Amino acid sequence: MKRYEPPAGWTVQAYRFALDPSDAQVLGLRRNTGAARFAYNHMLRRVSAVKAQRAAEASYGVAEADLTPWQGWSLPDLRRTWNEIKQWVAPWWAECSKEAFNTGLANLSAALGNWHASRTGTRRGRRMGWPRAKKKNGRRSARFTTGAIRVDPSYRHVMLPRLGRIRTYESTRKLARRVRAGTATILSATVTETAGRWFCSFQVAVQRAVGRRPAHAPKAGRVVGVDAGVKHLAVLSTGEMVPNPAPFKAALRKLGKAQRRAARRIGPYDPQARRKRTASNRWQRAQDAVARLQATVSAVRADSWHQLTTRLAQQFTTIVVEDLHVAGMVRNRKLARSLTDAAPATLRRHLGYKTGWYGSTLYVADRWYPSSKTCSACKTVKPKLSLAERMFHCTTCGLSLDRDVNAARNLAALVRHVDLELLGDAKPGRGAYVRPVRPASAGGAAGREASRPVHPVNVARQRTTANRESRLLTER
């Protein structure tokens, strides 16, 4: 399936609304999401059977031309096969939207494509295994791309194919006004169930004035360095320390109590008899309580990061962050829980597209740049600085301040001369090489939901002789 490319001046983002469906609508939502799961599992079994049959025939010396015909896993091939067999394998197919089945087939095509790319080496990262079947108690989701997909003029309902008019908990005024004004076009709608609650996410192509700042946004400064941490969500070079809500830590006591209660209930598996059994209603209610706590933790964490990154993109013209190796940092078992709770990699991901929305510039410092060990006043680099030392003391100039504030100031100082060079006021100093990258256009890098980076990160490179690390800013 070809990715949608918006025209120039348009970006693709998501609008997510919590639904308040009736009991009959809940059954319809579950029916359509179940249809997506059924189509995925059935076609996966078919592809697996053909793959095993061909391997068995090849082991007996059957020629390639005489092997069982291969079942293609592209979306058109899967859809063509499904339309031929759906009358026999799913006689109830007419009760659900065709988009529900297409959701499962599209997910299977993507999963098999990723598996093949991983085996051939064209996909980076850890080697992927063969796709697994989706379980009934897994994540329920279905995507609608055609049909009646719109927001109601009453600002309190959404329209979905085969599901009708569903009430929302919050107002849809922002999206409805954009659609009415012609500055937004709804591309698709995805319904998901999270901890017993249903949500609808609209993928929307929006005409956005890139670089336009809100009238209420104050002009706090030009350059800011942001040091993501654990004790504080982020520390700015201005001296501001953004508190970390630590939602998982706050809910740990309640979560532990709920999980112990769920462990005492009769679940769907009997460990003594080693067989499946019917789960009790109390077990299901206990599992739902655990899921609600986990969803609350995730929502609080996402809200804190969105508020911070939006404020940074609106108030500052240049933002500098670090390229953190979070996957390696969480290997420290003493910091793994706190790091995962803070989710420091979210900072760069959100700023990647929000800086493009508000006309800011994002720079990413190299992973090995010693921002914490370098004195922000005299640029002296300490040979060692343990994690337990929370205050930075410079033996050369006598500077003493919080180590995170010191690191944030060093990050901000990396690109201050970049802005001066762009303005023509000064040149890079002391033999430094600077190559600023300007932001991309609003429409050239879209095609993803708002939870993913839309605009490429603006990067600069700088070389210095102050320390052994020659790369301070690296292109990503």
* DSSP code of residue 19: B
443: tokens are 């429409």
253: tokens are 């006591």
DSSP three-state, residue 109? helix
| Average confidence (pLDDT) over 214-238 | 79
Tell me the angle at which helices 252-263 and 281-315 cross, rounded to the nearest 10 degrees: 160
Residue 386 has pLDDT above 70, yes or no: yes
pLDDT at residue number 424: 37
Position 431 confidence tier, pLDDT thresholds 50, 70, 90:
very low
Q: List alpha helices for 383-467, DSSP H.
A: 403-414, 416-423
DSSP 56-107: HHHHTT--GGGSPPP---SHHHHHHHHHHHHHHH-TTGGGS-HHHHHHHHHH
What confidence tens digit (pLDDT) does each residue in 153-209 have? Answer: 889 999 999 999 999 999 999 999 999 999 999 999 999 999 989 999 999 999 877
CA distance 421 to 418: 5
More confidently predicted of 210 and 356: 356
pLDDT at residue number 255: 95
What confidence tens digit (pLDDT) does each residue in 44-66 have? Answer: 999 999 999 999 999 998 888 88
CA distance 443 to 279: 50
Percentage of the chain lying above the pLDDT 90 cut? 50
- The torsion of the CA quartet 395, 401, 405, 411, rounded to 10 degrees, works out to -20
Whether the full predicted model's pTM is greater than 0.85, yes or no, is: no
pLDDT at residue number 453: 32
CA distance 204 to 408: 36
| Average confidence (pLDDT) over 351-363 | 88
CA distance 347 to 370: 19
Other CB atoms within 10 Å distance of the CB of residue 438: 8
DSSP three-state, residue 243? strand
Is 123 buried (19+), middle (13-18) or exposed (0-12) by CB count in 10 A? middle
pLDDT at residue number 438: 38
Residues carrying an active site annotation: 227, 322, 404
| Average confidence (pLDDT) over 80-85 | 95
What confidence tens digit (pLDDT) does each residue in 101-137 have? Answer: 999 999 999 999 999 999 998 998 888 999 999 998 8
Lowest mean pLDDT among 166-175, 364-373, 436-445: 436-445
Which helix (H) or strand (E) segment is 304 a member of? helix 281-315
Position 359 confidence tier, pLDDT thresholds 50, 70, 90:
confident
Nearest residue to 339 (alpha-carbon basis) of 348, 327, 351: 327
CB 267 within 8 A of CB 279: yes
pLDDT at residue number 447: 31
What confidence tens digit (pLDDT) does each residue in 9-52 have? Answer: 788 889 999 999 999 999 999 999 999 999 999 999 999 999 99
pLDDT at residue number 440: 38
| Average confidence (pLDDT) over 458-465 | 33
Pairing of strands 316-322, 221-228: parallel
CB 372 within 8 A of CB 356: no
Which helix (H) or strand (E) segment is 338 a member of? helix 336-342
Nearest residue to 40 (alpha-carbon basis) of 119, 104, 98, 89: 104
Other CB atoms within 10 Å distance of the CB of residue 301: 21
Question: Any idea which residue has 């999401």 for tokens?
Answer: 33
Residue 220 has pLDDT above 60, yes or no: no
More confidently predicted of 220 and 182: 182
| Average confidence (pLDDT) over 364-391 | 85
Other CB atoms within 10 Å distance of the CB of residue 461: 17
CB 322 within 8 A of CB 371: yes
More confidently predicted of 456 and 410: 410
pLDDT at residue number 217: 59
CA distance 16 to 302: 13
Question: Any idea which residue has 């700088």 for tokens?
Answer: 462
Residue 189 neighbours by CB under 8 Å, 6+ apart: 143, 144, 149, 158, 160, 200, 201, 202, 203
Rounded to the nearest integer, the mean pLDDT of the chain is: 83
Dihedrals φ, ψ of 99, to 5°? -70, -25
pLDDT at residue number 369: 84
Dihedrals φ, ψ of 254, to 5°? -65, -40
CA distance 107 to 140: 13
Domain residue ranges of the chain, discontinuous segments joined by +: 10-24+140-207, 33-120, 221-242+298-423
Residue 344 has pLDDT above 50, yes or no: yes
DSSP 225-256: EEEE-SSEEEEETTS-EEEP--HHHHTHHHHH
What confidence tens digit (pLDDT) does each residue in 395-430 have? Answer: 888 888 888 899 999 888 888 655 444 333 333 333
pLDDT at residue number 328: 87
212: tokens are 């336009």
Give Rg (Cα) of the chain. Answer: 27
| Average confidence (pLDDT) over 296-304 | 95
Percentage of the chain lying above the pLDDT 70 cut? 83
